[in-house]
Structure 1
Amino acid sequence: MSRPTLPEASADAGAGADLLRIVRINEEIKSVVGIAFRINIMALNAIFLAKRAGTTALGFGVLSNELRVFSQDLRTGMEALTGLVHACVAEVSRVLQDIRHTGLLRRAVADVERPGPAAVLARREAENAAHSAHLAELRKALQRALEDAFRLVELGSVLAKSAKIEAAYGQSFAGELSQVSGEFAGVVEEIRESLESLRRSAFFNPPREAGRAF
């Protein structure tokens, strides 16, 4: 029984590694969703605190509400990323099947040297190219969604800094408000670090290898 050629084995290993990277990406996204949920709870508590502080914390209350909206928008963005990740899993699985099935067909064609199997191989290779092209598009869509999330986190960072400024006007509540605003800044920074981890992933920055389709 003939064995896979070196390029086939390399491509198979590459697609398998991509699946592992996607699983890690999905775990990182879940982490961001969890942090977004924390921000939502924190924002609700901050809004109640601002109400207790009265007119001196009106600005802080407005910013706390904006941070609550930010957390909801972030969760929506992460849901979009999750959908793209699931689509990538399906497409990488197809690419893995392509590599294995095409390898078998190629060796069969080499053994029998007849036109029938050769035509099947040609169709299979055309399907492979289509799947690889689709996966490349999904990569780009995932990258765009990640950049959108970064822009949203920049907004969250600005809101957290503004809340810290407003906290200083809280008079007798200034200490409590400052502590809350500091917590906001900390969790937004956690999100930034998680997104940076995603950005560094090899799935978002695949090696430029000649002939590699995924």
Structure 2
Amino acid sequence: MTTSQWHGSGNGTSGAALDLLRIVRINEEIKRVVAVAFKINIMALNAIFLAKRAGNAALGFGVLSNELRVFSKDLRESMISLTRLIHDLVAEVSVVLQESRQDALFRRTLAQCSGNPMLDSVLERRNAQHDSRAQRISGLRRSLRLAVDDAARLVELGGVLAKSAKIEAAYGAGFASSLGQVSGEFDGVVEEIRSSLEILRRSKFFGGSA
């Protein structure tokens, strides 16, 4: 449905309000991912320090810990991109809400003054604006979904790194137990992020079920 059809059917306010609510929920999930990404960064720094203490036995673990730190940085940057798209969507959908209220008044005026060429011209112009806004929202929606998919692929890489760190931890000699505990925490945190991104992908804003 185009925005002009949306407005004209009288469903603009409710439809835009639902979208705005879904966007806010997506943003809350993004905030959770950002918080966890910071947590991974701190964990990785601690893991790198622990690997240095373990010496040669934990060289592989140290390399993977550093890669997980890079992963956390890349993930935060990915979430920043998502947040920008969210802000743009909030701005566009908020305008739709405002215009929907204005259109309700406009429709009442049209009903009382049907056949007025000036009002018909205004209606045509407003419909063109609505359609243009609908295209922008649709484009932002697609961009947001693609960005979420990109983030999900990045998290898959993080999962591989975490599992590899768990394997390397076993070769940590006297530090194997400590390294194993840290790598297990990495694995759990990455799973937490994966769960959040799956919630985003299933959002009704993208036609999903969540």
Runs of 4+ in 1 over 6 A off after TM superposition: none
Residue aligned with 2:206, SS:
coil
Q: List gaps (5 residues or longer) in structure 1.
A: 208-214
Paired position in structure 2 for 1:88 = 89
Equivalent AA in structure 2 for residue 43 of structure 1: A
Paired position in structure 1 for 2:160 = 158
Cα pair 1:32 1:194 within 8 Å, conserved: yes
Equivalent AA in structure 1 for residue 76 of structure 2: R
TM-score by length of 1: 0.91
Cα pair 1:106 1:121 within 8 Å, conserved: no
Q: Distance in 1 between matches of 2:50 and 2:208?
A: 47
Q: Distance in 2 between matches of 1:204 and 1:94?
A: 20
Q: Distance in 2 between matches of 1:206 and 1:120?
A: 36
* Change beyond 3 A, Cα 1:99–1:206: farther
Deviation of the 1:6 alpha carbon: 9.4
Q: Deviations over 1:16-57 (max 9, x none)?
A: 111111111111111100000000000000000000000010
Equivalent AA in structure 1 for residue 176 of structure 2: A
Deviation of the 1:127 alpha carbon: 0.2
Paired position in structure 2 for 1:205 = 207
Aligned residues: 202
* Residue 128 in structure 1 maps to residue 130 in structure 2: yes
TM-score by length of 2: 0.92
Identical aligned pairs, as a percentage? 63
Q: Deviations over 1:74-107 (max 9, x none)?
A: 0000010000001000010111122222232233
* Change beyond 3 A, Cα 1:206–1:18: farther
Q: Distance in 2 between matches of 1:128 and 1:45?
A: 53
Residues 72-81 or 22-31, more deviating: 22-31
